[in-house]
Copies of this chain bind each other. A is one copy, B any other.
Amino acid sequence: MNQLPKRLLQNPSGFPDLGPKEAIAQQRMLDVIRRQFISAGYVPIETPLVERPEVLLAKAGGEISTQMYGLRRLNVSADATDDTKELALRFDHTVPLARFIAANQRELAFPFRRFAIGPVFRGERPKSGRYRQFIQADIDAIGDGDLSPLHDAEMVAVIHGIFSELKIGPFTVRIGNRKVLQAILKDTGLSDDQLGDALRSIDELEKVGADTVITELKGLGLDAKDAKALIELLTDKGDSDAVLKALKARDLGPGYSEGVAELETVVNAVRDLGVPDNRFRIDLSIARGLDYYTGTVYETRLDEHPDLGSIASGGRYDDLASVYVNKQLPGVGISIGVTRLLLRLINAGLWPASESAIAEVLVTTDLGAKAFGNVYLKQAAALRAAGYPTEVYLNEKPLAKQLLYASRRGFKFAVITRNEDIKNGTVIVRNLKDSSQHETTSAQLVETIEKLRKTS
């Protein structure tokens, strides 16, 4: 038979292939994220991976439209027409949310608080850490007409819950406000036209450094002193109360005051929600999504791994779906790029991906599964029924090889039944961590494993 050339067996570039170790590691991460979303009272919706091109393009044109994948028929059968012109892959969770709300607004209770965890597709040029298919985990709260800024605070609490439970080291959620940033920039005398350039420049602050940004701001007409003062103000790392006090001492018009009041509300509510002060701070330099965010904005960084960039970002927007529906739907959301985060954390040794078994127990088959299947299968059935995921080794191999397999795969216990055990009615449980062996009986097998799990 003609076999495919080997290069075709690799996953297509930008579409990651996760083997058991990475898939188990990813599932552990997704479980934490989901649990925290649910803990805060968010509910899932499951929109399809496929949307109509008109829907995708109505919300996002420009650069991102060149990254969108449409569908086509691979083979068109003689009697069928290609009906795929109206099908394309989603590139985020926000556009499907907007479309879903527009289509179902009458049945939904607002504020509508939903989470979505699943793959999205972007035909970017694949480079280190960029994927064409990747899992995004989003929560958004959408109001009908208005939406309390306390929702903005809940986002911070959810992010805090997730990264605390993930235990990947200290992190800081940075909270900014676009109204405040915009008013401060305008106050320097920049024209409306220049604001966009200034925002883009400031958004790169962390990456390029203060000096470069100051030079760019000077290019926009600010004098050196003002540019420097601006950067100092925007990067004030004082505690939140001090920053708020300084902000409140200034008067830069109603938009500014509104933004500062929002910031204060969010900071207080974040504390009420139990987030400690060392896990968040005000960072006015966050710009993000120039045309999109209108109030609170967030970024999240690992304190000891700033190179990973922001690992959870988002913000407040005024208008989710006016291209779809005649309604003002303000929202606030936050998004975690799970695939990128996962694979970078695994590479950095910050997220374990060393076990290729989820089950803790391997029932070995020293006497051969063919002849003694009934013994081994019954042991496995008892362990599974008691809530212990269990694999039975069904290949005919010497016990030593089976134990090696157990250690390599990451099992914690091996159940061993030898010839003399059959005679004596005994069973051995081997703790694979310390190689200790514990004799017990078939009837006591579950109990023995239970005890060993507690003490080891």
Which A residues contact B (CB, under 8 angstroms)? Answer: 1-4, 8-12, 15-20, 22-24, 26-27, 38-41, 43-58, 63, 65-66, 68-77, 80, 83-84, 86-89, 99-100, 102-104, 107-111, 113-114, 119, 121, 123, 132-133, 143, 147-148, 150-151, 153-154, 157, 161, 265, 268-269, 272-274, 322-326, 356-359, 362, 369-370, 373-374, 377-378, 380-382, 384-385, 389-392, 394-396, 405, 408-409
Smallest CB gap from A377: residue in B: B272
A377 with B150: in contact, given A72-B69, A107-B19, A274-B385 (CB under 8 Å)?
yes
B358 touches A38 (CB 8 A): yes
In the assembled complex, which residues on chain B have CB atoms less than 8 Å from the CB atom of A43?
A: 20, 23-24, 356-358
Expressed in whole angstroms, the Cα–Cα distance for A322 and B4 within the complex equals 10
A370 touches B274 (CB 8 A): no
- The winner among A58, A359, A394 for most chain B CB atoms within 10 A is A394
Expressed in whole angstroms, the Cα–Cα distance for A119 and B57 within the complex equals 24
In the assembled complex, which residues on chain B have CB atoms less than 8 Å from the CB atom of A99?
A: 9
Expressed in whole angstroms, the Cα–Cα distance for A119 and B119 within the complex equals 10
Question: Which listed residue (B23, B102, B114, B395) contacts A45, Cβ 8 A?
Answer: B23
Shortest beta-carbon distance, A291 to chain B, in Å? 14
Shortest beta-carbon distance, A206 to chain B, in Å? 28
A380 with B148: in contact, given A15-B48, A27-B44, A48-B15 (CB under 8 Å)?
no
In the assembled complex, which residues on chain B have CB atoms less than 8 Å from the CB atom of A369?
A: 148, 150
A69 touches B65 (CB 8 A): no
Expressed in whole angstroms, the Cα–Cα distance for A104 and B23 within the complex equals 15
Expressed in whole angstroms, the Cα–Cα distance for A378 and B24 within the complex equals 35
Expressed in whole angstroms, the Cα–Cα distance for A392 and B42 within the complex equals 10
B45 touches A18 (CB 8 A): yes
Q: List 6 A-B contacts (CB under 8 A).
A: A17-B47, A24-B43, A38-B359, A66-B80, A69-B87, A113-B391
B148 touches A11 (CB 8 A): no
Shortest beta-carbon distance, A69 to chain B, in Å? 5
Shortest beta-carbon distance, A108 to chain B, in Å? 8
In the assembled complex, which residues on chain B have CB atoms less than 8 Å from the CB atom of A373?
A: 150, 265, 268-269, 272
Expressed in whole angstroms, the Cα–Cα distance for A381 and B40 within the complex equals 9
A324 touches B150 (CB 8 A): no
A55 touches B385 (CB 8 A): no
Question: Which listed residue (B48, B104, B325, B389) contacts A39, Cβ 8 A?
Answer: B389
A109 touches B409 (CB 8 A): yes
Smallest CB gap from A133: residue in B: B48
A50 touches B15 (CB 8 A): yes
Expressed in whole angstroms, the Cα–Cα distance for A239 and B121 within the complex equals 52
Smallest CB gap from A404: residue in B: B109
- The winner among A24, A38, A132, A370 for most chain B CB atoms within 10 A is A38
B4 touches A73 (CB 8 A): no
Expressed in whole angstroms, the Cα–Cα distance for A17 and B19 within the complex equals 30
A408 with B65: in contact, given A384-B161, A390-B40 (CB under 8 Å)?
no
Shortest beta-carbon distance, A171 to chain B, in Å? 18
Question: Which listed residue (B39, B88, B104) contacts A390, Cβ 8 A?
Answer: B39
In the assembled complex, which residues on chain B have CB atoms less than 8 Å from the CB atom of A323?
A: 1-4
A71 touches B70 (CB 8 A): yes
- The winner among A1, A22, A44 for most chain B CB atoms within 10 A is A44
Question: Which listed residue (B73, B132, B378, B389) contacts A70, Cβ 8 A?
Answer: B73
A65 touches B72 (CB 8 A): no
In the assembled complex, which residues on chain B have CB atoms less than 8 Å from the CB atom of A3?
A: 322-326
Question: Which listed residue (B20, B49, B86, B113) contacts A44, Cβ 8 A?
Answer: B20
Q: A17-B48, A23-B43, A69-B72 are in contact. List 5 more A-B contacts (CB 8 A).
A: A20-B45, A50-B121, A69-B73, A113-B391, A272-B373
Expressed in whole angstroms, the Cα–Cα distance for A12 and B72 within the complex equals 14
